Structure 1
């Protein structure tokens, strides 16, 4: 039996589509992030600060790769973090074309505060799930990323 176009259309439900569901979950998480963040940090700024904290001083290009951001995006993020006084930039002593980034003392304080806030954001985002579901979701998301 062949399926008609009408039958195929009725089998499609937006509520069952992974992209739609991921967007809804992302929007919910973004709302939670915005309600708890400190100093108006965006998720990309938060990610960059955490990666700098983990790496110590690193190049802007390397930071972009670590934080999964393209060249233009990471440049804007680094510029805004520098304007907020959270990072320091300096030329690489071995390659003057490369910019090295590190946390300022204010940035180090911000990271310490934001790690705890980050834990709260994650806990609230995952709150509807059981502990086992939370672990499974994180495992699945790592596979998808």
Structure 2
């Protein structure tokens, strides 16, 4: 009965065999993400992971901030950002100090080495983004990014 609609007697719903996984947003986003992740892993410097790079790039952008704020800015939960920051500290890319705005918190900031690595990583990330978007025209790239931002 390939290609035919059939009724599901137990739920009263209909199964439409014309459903195409390859046309579903979640599937397409996952495949595109896998492609980008492979490019990232191949081309990113210092073995940085996407969350580590995001933390470094955001710290370069906003300057020192609390670990919790950094996590919120890059959409990571408290446990995940703690692990990311701990690994970056271990590699000498960031350090923590008393937060001048709130003595109860520790601020995370780039070290001199972290600043240099982040600058180089941003150059690599730009190449990675270019390769990810390579199949698209300039107008399509802009449109895609605008649409994806609406979903976040």
**With structure 2 as the length reference, what TM-score do the two structures score?**
0.88
Are residues 1:122 and 2:129 paired? yes
Shift of 1:93: 4.4
Query: Which deviates more from structure 2 when the two are superposed, residues 130-139 or residues 18-27?
Result: 130-139
| Equivalent position to 1:76, from 70, 80, 83 | 83
Query: Which deviates more from structure 2 when the two are superposed, residues 72-81 or residues 86-95?
Result: 86-95
Match of 1:14 in 2: 21
Match of 1:53 in 2: 60
Q: CA RMSD in A?
A: 1.5
Are residues 1:133 and 2:128 paired? no
Report how many aligned residue pairs link the two structures: 143
The answer for unaligned runs of 5 or more in structure 1 is none
**With structure 1 as the length reference, what TM-score do the two structures score?**
0.92
- The separation in 1 between residues aligned to 2:113 and 2:16, in whole angstroms, is 55
Match of 2:35 in 1: 28
The structure with more helix, counted as a fraction of residues: 1
Shift of 1:105: 0.5
Write out per-residue CA displacement over residues 62-96 of structure 1, whole angstroms, 9 at most, x where no aligned residue: 10111111100110000000001000111324544
Rg (Cα) greater in structure: 2
Give the SS at the match of 1:10.
Answer: coil
